[in-house]
Amino acid sequence: MEVIRNHHQLQAYIERNKEMGKRIGFAPTMGALHQGHISLYQAARENNDLVVSSIFVNPTQFNNAEDLEKYPRTIEKDLQKLEASQLVDMVYLPSIEDIYPEKTLSKKYNFGGIENEMEGASRPGHFDGVGTVVEELFKQIKPDNAYFGEKDFQQLSIIRKLVQILNLPIKIHGVPIYREESGLAMSSRNERLNPELKDKAKIIYQVLQRIKEWAPSLSVQEIAHKVKEIFEQEKDMELEYITIADEENLQPTNAFSANKKYRAFIVVVVGGIRLIDNIALH
């Protein structure tokens, strides 16, 4: 596995491989890698000649300087995990200057409103930051295929929209949520839960499965009410939101329509740790 630490080295590497006609599969990360990330590279390995990873903690997608400061940086461990997976040919570790050569500022995008729903409602500008870093990485790495986890389904939708807006010749692949044995969606945040809270957190996925069971027979309002009741009974857990949205445009819905696909999105704060998850209702 090759490790590249600056844009100039990267350029030479990409050009060399493009000249050889190699198909490039790419999944960007912010590090603190776990098996969920590795599943992206498993998907990439299936239909690309070259699998590329990147690790870069992107400052413009944080609304809070303290969150940026606290974000785990575990480069050596991450490189060991990537190496051990034997799935990745090259990992790119850019500096701030490689991504933001002038000012560390986001571009402004019009994602058609999906940037203002759910995660975007409480984090203005967050998805502009995501779009800015992903656009730059796409320009530098020139992948044929890019892979993003469905756990951050809203982010996946934003990336699909970005590729459409910029008319980039990149196919975006959503990779199913990788879950722990308990059903809890794999996340670097899970490491911050003590064993008791981690065990309790498995209820999040159980509730999502119940929502899928209820969807054919209950209204959106009835489902939301039931979910709120469940979490009111749970100590150390606070439901931040439950939203059922149209999978296409992420608009929250108040009523199911037969010809649309829906997804349930949930955020629960467990012992002070904010966990997100979702499930397709079709």
- Catalytic residue numbers, as ranges: 37
Secondary structure (DSSP) of 152-220: GHHHHHHHHHHHHHHT---EEEEEPPPB-TTSPBP-GGGGGS-HHHHHHTTHHHHHHHHHHHHTTTS-H
Q: Which two three-digit tokens encode residue 154?
A: 């809203």
User: What are the φ/ψ torsions at residue 86 (nearest 5 degrees)?
Assistant: 55, 30
DSSP 8-state class, residue 252: B
Nearest 5°: the CA angle 45, 50, 51 is 55
Contact 157, 31 (CB under 8 A): no
59 vs 118: CA distance, rounded Å: 21
Q: What angle do CA 123, 136, 162 make, to 5 degrees?
A: 60
Closest CA to 257 of 269, 265, 248: 248
Helix (H, G, I), strand (E, B) or coil at 122: coil
Q: Are 254 and 221 in contact (CB under 8 A)?
A: yes
Question: Nearest 5 degrees, angle CA 260-CA 265-CA 268?
Answer: 165
* 3 state DSSP class of 92: strand
Contact 281, 244 (CB under 8 A): yes
